[in-house]
Amino acid sequence: MSRQFYQTLLEQIVTWCLNAGGWLLLPAVCYGLRNHGEFLKGRLGNFSLDAADRKGPRIWFHAASVGEVNGAVPILHLTHRHLPRAFICLSVGTPQGHEFAKSQLPAWATVVPFPVDVPWIVDKSLKRIRPDLYVGFESEFWPVLLGRLRRAGVPALLLNGRLSRRSAEKYRFLRPVFQPLFQHFRRIALHSEQDRQNLLDMGVSPDRIRVVGSSKHDGLRLRVRPEAAARWRGLLGIPENTPVLLGGSLRRSECTGLLEVFCELRKTTDSCLGIFAPRHLHQVLPMAEWLTNRGVPFQRLSEIEGRRTRREAPVVLVDRIGVLFELYALGDLIFCGGTLEPIGGHNILEPAAWARPVFYGPHVEKVREEHRVLAKKKGGFPVRDFDDLRQQWAYWLRHLPELKSFGENAKDALDFLGGAAEKQVELLLQTLSESGARVGA
């Protein structure tokens, strides 16, 4: 066997394990998706495509889940605006992300499950999609797919690219494996200068790299619908002048830590409403048990949304995916999770789209640029720990009208970071033109 054979084999094994995909995890995928039969069929390459009247270039976009779809949506809209006859296909790796993408995109975009990264499934999918260009988002490095694309002469791009310090250290340890994967991309559009430095340390050629920001910021502005805020306020029966304390994307200890902060504050402001959304739904049960053990009334959002009951409890637990962004519109005091736990932060700019300031902890490695701009514009409030959050929220509960002006600052921060989608679509069009695809068709 050649050295290249063993190199490719090692790439596949390591990347499948690190990305939680591939045939090694197929039994778990089958079990976990037992209620998503059609999605599972699609992951095995059995999906249908409707490319009628699409005589332009064929572009395959891929986003891992809901978060990456948020960044993909403005890119797809701009691509369609520039190339109205193009066949645009978006693959998504999770059932929730797949459903979310279908809800966010018009009929001109085809949404399919992402095929499992094994040769026979990838080959089947490539024959169906027949892409002129492949575009991945954020940190999607799939060795079989990238290898097959290279063999077929199909250029690949990485947009909204991220390579955190933690991931860079992991990849650097296995540099001989991952360096060739990065080289598969014709161009890489990155979120921040730190991402660029991490890629350069991996040996990626600087002429392939551009730092342009994240199109997620453009996508947030597209998703703001005032009627959605009014609908949720009516559904949850929130009276005027009722303070709403909201914890979003909560991780680990944040799930019960925010509940404890809320319960302490409610001792002096008993009219307030708490809405709490864990990042992962399996955390809803321990949150419910925590509240039950302390005699705190609560309701699940799905029960209220299904019209099975009116909202009467002071706490609402968000037990479904895809609604947190709209719920941020209700918040007076908002905490964004993954920041008091050493996760690195989730999208701390989502509340800013609704002109709401945001509170977050010190762990902002994944959202460092957003943190920098929010701090500069005075649209965010960093906190050290749960006690600091409780003290700050106690102060602002007494000064909510003043806090609203900081919401406008947060919106200014979002506007400042916008425009990345246009820059990334320019790279896409340039790559298509260089490949000889039918850009002007």
How much is the pLDDT for 440?
53
206 to 198, 203, 302, 306: CA distances (angstroms): 11, 9, 49, 52
Residue 155 has pLDDT above 70, yes or no: yes
- Identical fold, 3-215+419-435 and 226-416: yes
Secondary structure class of 402 (helix, strand, coil)? helix
How much is the pLDDT for 1?
37
pTM of the model: 0.81
Half-sphere exposure of 222 (CA within 13 A, CB side): 20
Indicate the burial class of 215 (C-beta count within 10 angstroms; 0-12, 13-18, 19 or more). buried
- pLDDT tens-digit profile of 328-347? 999 999 999 999 999 999 99
Half-sphere exposure of 191 (CA within 13 A, CB side): 24
Secondary structure class of 59 (helix, strand, coil)? strand
251 to 319, 331, 338, 363: CA distances (angstroms): 14, 19, 6, 12
Residue 362 dihedral angles phi and psi, to the nearest 5°? -80, -10
Indicate the burial class of 323 (C-beta count within 10 angstroms; 0-12, 13-18, 19 or more). middle
Residue 310 has pLDDT above 60, yes or no: yes
* Region of poorest pLDDT, from 199-213, 234-248, 343-357: 199-213
The answer to whether residues 216 and 225 touch, using CB atoms and an 8 Å cutoff, is no
More confident call, 96 vs 75: 75
The answer to whether residues 337 and 248 touch, using CB atoms and an 8 Å cutoff, is yes
Work out the angle at residue 355's Cα, subtended by the Cα atoms of residues 383 and 403, and round it to the nearest 5 degrees. Answer: 55
What is the distance between the alpha carbons of residues 331 and 351, in angstroms, rounded to a whole number? 8
With tokens 């790279």, the residue in question is 427
Count of CB atoms situated within 10 Å of the CB of 360:
27
The mean pLDDT value of the chain amounts to 89
More confident call, 50 vs 88: 88
**CATH number for the domain whose boundaries are 3-215+419-435:** 3.40.50.11720
First CA to last CA across the chain, in angstroms?
45
How much is the pLDDT for 54?
65
Nearest to 63 by CA among 5, 124, 105: 105
Secondary structure class of 49 (helix, strand, coil)? coil
With tokens 């896409």, the residue in question is 428
Mean local confidence (pLDDT), 99-126? 94
- pLDDT tens-digit profile of 169-227? 777 777 777 777 888 999 999 988 889 998 888 888 999 999 999 999 999 988 999 99
Distance of CA 356 to the CA centre of its chain: 19
Residue 20 has pLDDT above 70, yes or no: no
Mean local confidence (pLDDT), 356-368? 95
What is the distance between the alpha carbons of residues 75 and 59, in angstroms, rounded to a whole number? 12
In percent, the amount of the chain with pLDDT more than 90 equals 73
Secondary structure class of 24 (helix, strand, coil)? helix
Q: Tokens at residue 264, please?
A: 């302490």
Domain boundaries, the chain: 3-215+419-435, 226-416
| Position 24 confidence tier, pLDDT thresholds 50, 70, 90 | very low
Identify the DSSP state of 351. G
The answer to whether residues 149 and 119 touch, using CB atoms and an 8 Å cutoff, is no
Residue type, position 140, single letter: E
**CATH number for the domain whose boundaries are 226-416:** 3.40.50.2000
How much is the pLDDT for 279?
95
